[in-house]
Homo-oligomer: A and B are copies of this chain.
Amino acid sequence: MPEVDYQRFRERVAAWQPELVREVFRQHQHLIRVKKEEVALDRLDLILRTALDISNRKGFKSMSVRDLSEATGISMGALYAYIDSKDGLLDMIMAYGSVAARWAVQVPDQVVGARSRLDWVLRSHLYLSEVLLPWFFFAFMEARHFSQRAREQAMGSELWMERLISECLEEGNASGEFAVARPDLAGALIKSLLQDWYLKRWKYRRRNVDVEAYTGTVMEFIEAWVLPDRSTAPGRVQTDQSSRVNHEKGSV
């Protein structure tokens, strides 16, 4: 039934993930003093990973450049050949995830129908946040420290994701696949369920809940709400409209 599973998603991501740092390097090359691409890529990758790691433990603001220097083993001077400033490092980190998101979540043409599209969008988002967990956590937690321009961009992409979900719901309402009262609010609530996966990871790790189990429960939760009819038992099949209950809107 699902349009994609985690295993296949990982394989698809593995194909372009090494190119991510290269893309970031090229976007910011005018600010980077290191000339040779092949020399730069490994260390840039190390810098970005380490910066995310330290920032997610003590906050970007609290991470001193000396901390980063010690953790990467790259001297202060050399570090500043890769970044033009601490804020520039933040820009590169954000670019890293933005590029990944752009490459990962576009819905392919062969996925048609509201329910399939919703399934695809939600799963892609969850799976990507699993692969790039440190980045998603960082982007959420540090967003309010961004410059106004960057913050508005972050808010915009949050709203974009929501509208993507809401549009699926509206499309489903129109086709009869779904029956949900407020697609706008529903989109917001569904997004918060996706977010919990990377915001509260410690909780799920402690309980041995993996991304597939989480995704499964979330999809059930959502479908219980948006489908016109349902049975709470997992593995159900009712997707046709014939089994819908004719609910009485006017009842007190």
Contact = CB atoms under 8 A, between A and B. Distances in A.
A231 B248 contact: yes
Interface in A219-252: 220-221, 224-225, 228, 231-237, 245, 247-252
A26 interface: no
A145 B228 CA distance: 45
A113 to B, nearest CB: 20
Contacts of A245: 231
A181 interface: yes
Interface stretch (A13-21, A33-41, A114-122, A199-207): A199-207
What is the oligomeric copy number?
A: 2
A102 interface: no
Contacts of A207: 184
Which of A179, A188, A207, A228 has the most CB atoms of chain B within a 10 A radius of its CB? A188
A235 B248 CA distance: 10
A120 to B, nearest CB: 21
Nearest to A162: B203
B248 A144 contact: no
B247 A232 contact: yes
A61 interface: yes
A129 to B, nearest CB: 14
Contacts of A174: none
Given A189-B217, A193-B193, A249 B224 contact: no
Contact of A144 (B58, B179, B237, B250): B58
A220 B199 CA distance: 24
A181 B235 CA distance: 12
Given A181-B220, A231-B245, A59 B144 contact: yes
A193 B203 contact: no
Contacts of A145: 58-59, 62
A111 interface: no
Interface in A165-223: 179-182, 184-186, 188-189, 192-193, 195-196, 199-200, 202-204, 207, 209, 213-214, 217-218, 220-221
Contacts of A188: 196, 200, 203-204
Interface string A32-64: 000000000000000000000000111101100
A155 B195 CA distance: 18
Contact of A251 (B180, B186, B221, B233): B233
A106 to B, nearest CB: 24
Contact of A186 (B144, B199, B204, B221): B221
